[in-house]
Amino acid sequence: MSIASFLSPATQESVAPPAEGVPLLEVRDLSVTFYTPRGTVRAVRHASFTVRRGEVLGLVGESGCGKSTVAFATLAYLPGTAEVGGSILFEGRDLMTMPAGELRDLRGSRIAMVYQDPGSALNPTMRVGEQVEEVLHTHLGLSGQAAEERAASLFESVGLPNPARVGRRFPHELSGGQQQRVVIAMALACEPDLLLMDEPTTGLDVTTEATILDLVAELKNRVNAGIVFVSHNLGVIARVADRVAVMYAGQVIEEAPVRELFANPSHPYTAGLLSCVPAPVNETGLMPQLRNIPGSVYPASEPNVDACLFADRCPMVQDICRESAPPEIVANAEGHPVRCFFPERVDSDTWGEPAPRPRKPRSTNEAPLLQVDGLHQYYGNDRKKYIFFGPPSRRPVRANVDVDFAIQPGRTLGIVGESGSGKSTAARSIAGLERRTSGEVLLDGEPLAAGVGDRPRGQQSKVRMVFQNPAASLNPRLPIGSVLVRSIRKSRSVGKAEARGIAVELLESVGLDGGYMDRRPRELSGGQQQRVALAAAFAADPELIIADEAVSALDVSVQAQVLNLIAERQRREGTAFMFITHDLGVVRYISDDILVLYGGHVVETGPAEAVLRPPWSPYTEALLSAAPVPDPDAEPSRIRLEGAVPTLRQPFAGCPFAGRCPRNLGDLCDNTPPPMRVDPADPRHQILCHIPLEELAADQRAAMRGRSAVGEAPGGR
């Protein structure tokens, strides 16, 4: 249903059509400066770009480059301490000089925003249906049954199950992916002309992310909206964007059509970002070593200078770069603008030739550092219909069911699966933050108590955990330095001065300088908080680090730095890692072994090089097909999983994945538990499936050839 059918005649007449050829959004020389008690912050220094109807502009760059500030400035969602320069034109009208009443009418109706954190964008005390209906009432005058029907229609359009029922739920009753779809539905309630999306897929698993990206592509065509898509994930940008604007230190330094930018970047910073993305395993089975951009973004607290702000990090820097600011010039025959003195010198080797990442040999005689056998984790108890007797009315949630794995010293186990598959539960059970229901866990051959408080201090120091949400794991009242120094002194026999020196070294190892020692967590971005959490884990010099989505909030340059740091620490210290992530590119790069969980069950396990080639479990195949790759020419796979991971209260009669499996065999899969099949090519590779592995491998290779024929990279996207 079109928005025009909801608008009153008077409202329709007030929306004057723009002049022919006028862009939907035009940002000219935008600058945003914040004046704070700690000093002046120049969040945006010089940003210019345009967005036309039916076009997606990707906005990329590291944390602190001003991407989100540009989005908020477009909606005039800035505090009173902000000074804004330049102009922001919507259909030729300057939003910065528009009367407050008109601007308020535009927000939510013709310009809408999807925020990075859906949990903070939704009111926790209101049902999600009521929140969407409130938008419809405010901007379209709908109420009662008409608003309810329109809200249900919106929920259906974004792929939410049971759209009539989901509106009666509160935000905490929905998964992260479902919350994000509700926020998108709310933004689309009035079919806006301009949609601003700020990291809308960060933190989502790959299957949900693929569905959201499909939705964005469909929206662009169905609503003919202009979209500004802010993201640090270059695979996502390659999937959805038509053009890309690259930001650095508050400046737009390059803008180009997406295929041109990925194939021929003309700024060394853009080439550096592309070199930081994990590449697929090549034909020899070797993973190329990640290159990274040294240092950090030019500080927003520093004044504007007549020089290139990227000079101190650039491998091509010349004297002229430090003496004057590069103008925005036309870079090449294609004519896309770039802010650099030497764009013609930028090529694929600007940041050095890629070297293969060495694989660590597996020692067959070395005992595992961590051995997990029969891990079960249940929440709640069986409840009877009549309290003490009668049939069960509510069964416990089975988060982990008979999970087995081992981690050798100096190796990394990657654990993958959708949200709700039991990854974080397994991590918290091993860390002792939640007492496991049953199962045996051995560390260095010694039993590991279920609760961390029951473990001796030596065992506590050997295992450290990095949490998915760093803001919740850092003490908001203490400076960063105090957190690190305290952890160092509790695990090492050093004085306060020496501990402080070690803390500075740890911060530098994760890309932060010593100036962060006196800052509190609230003064850091999400990516900076995550780096501090990693440094705090390293502080105790542990034997095993459990990292739960430790790089999901990091931009690609810092992610590359952290992943190389982890690899270097393993070579130097022999630290083992249990690495939980939804980013399959990261899994390919960091993992020696991979464990795939679904519904609390192990559906595939083995060495990384075996798990990443056919045969795959049908579930692993779906995950790989959904993963975005940084190649605009890659044709997206059409393997999409319907529904969500089951609630795990009722035991599975057959295969745990049967209800969503695209290769379901019918009654056999639905009612008979599948065997754990052993890959004849590598006995360590095991797959839970009824389909014989020879048949599974043949079908999957045929599917890969079919996708490659239309330009898709192996592994899908």
Banded pLDDT at 2 (limits 50, 70, 90): very low
Asked if the model's pLDDT at residue 633 lies above 50, the reply is: yes
Pairing verdict, β 576-580 and 544-548 = parallel
- Count of beta carbons in the 10 Å neighbourhood of residue 487: 21
138 in a structural domain: yes
Q: What is the pLDDT of residue 209?
A: 82
- Per-residue pLDDT tens for 83-135? 999 999 999 999 988 888 888 888 888 899 988 778 778 999 999 999 999 98
Banded pLDDT at 549 (limits 50, 70, 90): confident
Q: What is the pLDDT of residue 706?
A: 60
User: Do both 129 and 198 map to the same domain?
Assistant: no
127 in a structural domain: yes
Mean pLDDT value across residues 561-584: 86
Q: What is the pLDDT of residue 393?
A: 56
Mean pLDDT value across residues 586-590: 87
Asked if the model's pLDDT at residue 1 lies above 60, the reply is: no
Asked if the model's pLDDT at residue 448 lies above 90, the reply is: yes
- For residue 254, the enclosing domain spans 24-110+192-358
User: Do both 56 and 156 map to the same domain?
Assistant: no
Asked if the model's pLDDT at residue 711 lies above 50, the reply is: no
- Count of beta carbons in the 10 Å neighbourhood of residue 562: 25
Q: How far apart are CA 447 and CA 124, in angstroms?
A: 42
Q: What is the pLDDT of residue 316?
A: 94
User: Do both 147 and 292 map to the same domain?
Assistant: no
Q: Could you give the C-alpha distances from 27 to 104, 172, 693, in angstroms and in order?
A: 19, 37, 55
User: Do both 29 and 164 map to the same domain?
Assistant: no
177 in a structural domain: yes
160 in a structural domain: yes
- Residue (of 364, 440, 375) closest to 402 by Cα position: 375
Asked if the model's pLDDT at residue 688 lies above 90, the reply is: yes
**Within 13 Å, how many C-alpha atoms sit on residue 457's CB side?**
5
User: Do both 205 and 305 map to the same domain?
Assistant: yes
Banded pLDDT at 392 (limits 50, 70, 90): low
pTM > 0.85: no
Asked if the model's pLDDT at residue 631 lies above 90, the reply is: no
Decide which of 709 and 190 is more confident.
190
State the chain's mean pLDDT as an integer.
85
Q: Where are the alpha helices (DSSP H) in 107-233?
A: 118-121, 128-140, 144-157, 163-166, 176-187, 206-223
User: Do both 92 and 150 map to the same domain?
Assistant: no
- Per-residue pLDDT tens for 317-339? 999 999 999 988 877 666 789 99
Q: How many domains does the chain divide into?
A: 3
CATH number at residue 100: 3.40.50.300
Q: How far apart are CA 30 and CA 66, in angstroms?
A: 11
Q: How far apart are CA 394 and CA 416, in angstroms?
A: 29
How does 114-137 read in b/e, with b if 16+ C-beta sit within 10 Å? bbbbbeebbeeeebbbbbbbbbbe
Q: What is the pLDDT of residue 382?
A: 61
Q: What is the pLDDT of residue 501?
A: 93
User: Do both 173 and 310 map to the same domain?
Assistant: no
Cβ atoms of 437 and 398 within 8 Å: the answer is no
Contact residues for 314 (Cβ-Cβ < 8 A; gap 6+): 268, 269, 308, 321
Q: What is the pLDDT of residue 14?
A: 42
Tokens at residue 217, please?
Answer: 């592509």
297 in a structural domain: yes
Q: What is the pLDDT of residue 390?
A: 59
Q: Which helix (H) or strand (E) holds 69?
A: helix 67-74
Banded pLDDT at 142 (limits 50, 70, 90): confident
Banded pLDDT at 285 (limits 50, 70, 90): low
Sign of CA dihedral 5, 9, 15, 17: positive
Asked if the model's pLDDT at residue 312 lies above 80, the reply is: yes
Mean pLDDT value across residues 683-692: 95
Share of the chain above pLDDT 70, in %: 89
- Per-residue pLDDT tens for 236-270? 999 899 999 999 999 999 999 999 999 999 999 99
Answer with the one of 358, 389, 416 that is the final residue of a domain.
358
283 in a structural domain: yes
User: Do both 647 and 715 map to the same domain?
Assistant: yes
Q: What is the pLDDT of residue 489?
A: 87
> What is the Cα 626 distance to its own chain's centre?
14
User: Do both 68 and 204 map to the same domain?
Assistant: yes
Banded pLDDT at 188 (limits 50, 70, 90): confident
Asked if the model's pLDDT at residue 287 lies above 50, the reply is: yes
| Stretch among 154-158, 393-397, 682-686 having the lowest mean pLDDT | 393-397
Banded pLDDT at 140 (limits 50, 70, 90): confident
Mean pLDDT value across residues 196-208: 82
Q: What is the pLDDT of residue 385?
A: 54
Q: What is the pLDDT of residue 271?
A: 93
Q: Which of 263-277, 378-392, 456-470 has the highest mean pLDDT?
A: 263-277
Q: What is the DSSP letter of 393?
A: E
Mean pLDDT value across residues 342-346: 92
User: Do both 176 and 55 map to the same domain?
Assistant: no
489 in a structural domain: no
Answer with the one of 159, 189, 219 that is the final residue of a domain.
189
442 in a structural domain: no
Banded pLDDT at 495 (limits 50, 70, 90): confident
Mean pLDDT value across residues 219-239: 86
User: Do both 175 and 278 map to the same domain?
Assistant: no
Q: Which of 115-119, 300-304, 530-534 has the highest mean pLDDT?
A: 300-304
Q: How far apart are CA 95 and CA 102, in angstroms?
A: 9
Asked if the model's pLDDT at residue 3 lies above 50, the reply is: no
Which residue in the block uniquely carries the two structure tokens 């090519």?
Answer: 681
Q: How far apart are CA 32 and CA 73, in angstroms?
A: 8
> Coil, helix or strand for 436?
coil
- Per-residue pLDDT tens for 349-382? 889 877 777 666 665 567 899 999 999 999 876 6
Banded pLDDT at 432 (limits 50, 70, 90): very high
Cβ atoms of 199 and 553 within 8 Å: the answer is no
User: Do both 180 and 256 map to the same domain?
Assistant: no
Answer with the one of 311, 343, 358 that is the final residue of a domain.
358
Q: What is the pLDDT of residue 358?
A: 65
